[in-house]
Amino acid sequence: MNKNYLELSQVGIEFPTDGEPFRALQNINLSIQKGEFISLIGHSGCGKSTVLNIIAGLYRASEGGVILEGREVNEPGPDRAVVFQNHALLPWLTVYENVELAVKSVFKKTKSKAEMRDWIAHNLSLVHMDHALHKRPGEISGGMKQRVGIARCLAMQPKVLLMDEPFGALDALTRAHLQDSLMEIQNRLGNTVVMITHDVDEAVLLSDRIVMMTNGPAASIGEILEIDLARPRDRLALAEDPAFNACRQQVLRFLYEKHRNPAAQAAEVPASETPPTEPQVAPASVPKAKPTSSAAA
């Protein structure tokens, strides 16, 4: 039973467009164990975010479905917390209030006020943010914002933690630091994590399995690589570990030999210097009316 804590079966999705519908994903099958750390890797635009959004319930799959602990996922909910690429903190709330909003909506009935206060503080200290509780997102650095975003999700005690390139917008040092924090937290709490990344080193360092996606349209899972490295892992020691390097090689080979991104064929970029993500396509659900022409009336 444990084997299929979270299960994607035959997941596919089509996006409506002006012309023919655009098929982004097809035949995605994946079983994830409780406590497992999964990385999704693949070229830009292949459909990683779409997979994550389907697990989160933010998108509905056109075929197939997602089952979490025996129940089908068909709407977003706090049991599948999402760490967004651009932190998605509410800029008008302080760090504390941002986490509080999540805690209140999850534990309104089960925790007392004092318990909630302790729980918020506890989660912020997990990500080492207890020194800036009353600052607004605009007053803290990018790495700190991302940490608050992670704390907000941890505080919801989700069944699955979904992370869409959580460290994509950060510099290498900050990123390494946050990777270490994340590893430590995951070791301690045993969260089930699905993380999207562009960074091969990051994927190998953090994951139990790396899911490599083929290029879109109609992307699916190309290979799955088990990373059999002992935990806790240490980045310095691993840098010289042949097993670590073998895993890296395998992912690189998949990305740059078997499934070269047609758009990026000219550029021979080493994986560790993967260029930053291309701008994401805005999700299509609930398009909003925008009478911009009369904005300044």
Ligand X SMILES: Nc1ncnc2c1ncn2[C@@H]1O[C@H](COP(=O)(O)OP(=O)(O)OP(=O)(O)O)[C@@H](O)[C@H]1O
Instruction: Decide whether 146 or 277 has the Cβ nearer to ligand X.
Output: 277
Residue range at the interface with Mg ion (CB under 5 A); choices 155-163, 185-193, 223-231, 276-284: 276-284
Task: Give helix then strand counts, H and E, for the chain.
Answer: 8, 10
Question: CB pairs under 8 A, 24+ apart, for 219-226?
Answer: 219/24, 219/25, 219/26, 219/42, 219/46, 219/47, 220/25, 220/26, 220/27, 220/28, 221/28, 221/29, 221/30, 222/42, 222/254, 222/258, 222/259, 223/254, 224/30, 225/250, 225/251
Q: Identify the bridge partners of residue 221 per DSSP, sorted by sequence position.
A: 213
Instruction: Decide whether 55 or 99 has the Cβ nearer to Mg ion.
Output: 55
For the chain, give percent helix, strand, coil, nearest 5: 40, 20, 40
Of residues 253-292, those binding ligand X (CB under 6 A): 277-278, 280-281, 283-284
In the three-class reduction of DSSP (H, G, I as helix; E, B as strand; rest coil), residue 39 is classed as strand
Q: Which does 22 bind (CB under 5 to 8 A by kind): ligand X, another protein, Mg ion, none?
A: ligand X
DSSP per residue, 115-166 = HHHHHHHHHHHHTT-GGGTT--GGGS-HHHHHHHHHHHHHHT--SEEEEEST
Question: What mask, x for binding Mg ion by CB under 5 A, covers residues 48 to 67?
Answer: -x------------------
Instruction: Decide whether 31 or 280 has the Cβ nearer to Mg ion.
Output: 280
Are 94 and 145 contacting, i.e. CB atoms less than 8 angstroms apart?
no
* Residue 21 binds to ligand X (criterion: CB under 6 A): no
Binder of ligand X out of 15, 27, 58, 209 (CB under 6 A): 15
Instruction: Decide whether 103 or 124 has the Cβ nearer to another protein.
Output: 103
Q: Which does 121 bind (CB under 5 to 8 A by kind): Mg ion, ligand X, another protein, none?
A: none
Q: Which two tokens stand for residue 142?
A: 């990018």
Instruction: Decide whether 123 or 274 has the Cβ nearer to ligand X.
Output: 274
* Residue 110 binds to another protein (criterion: CB under 8 A): no
Of residues 165-224, those binding Mg ion (CB under 5 A): none
Q: Which does 278 bind (CB under 5 to 8 A by kind): ligand X, another protein, Mg ion, none?
A: ligand X
Q: Identify the bridge partners of residue 71 per DSSP, sorted by sequence position.
A: 68
Backbone angles phi, psi at 20, to 5 degrees: -70, 145
Question: How many residues belong to the site for Mg ion (CB under 5 A)?
Answer: 2
Q: Which does 19 bind (CB under 5 to 8 A by kind): another protein, Mg ion, ligand X, none?
A: none
Applying CB under 6 A, which residues contact ligand X?
15, 22, 24, 42, 44-50, 216, 277-278, 280-281, 283-284
Applying CB under 8 A, which residues contact another protein?
56-58, 75-78, 80-82, 84, 86, 88, 90-93, 101-102, 105-106, 136, 138, 156, 282-283, 286-292, 294-297
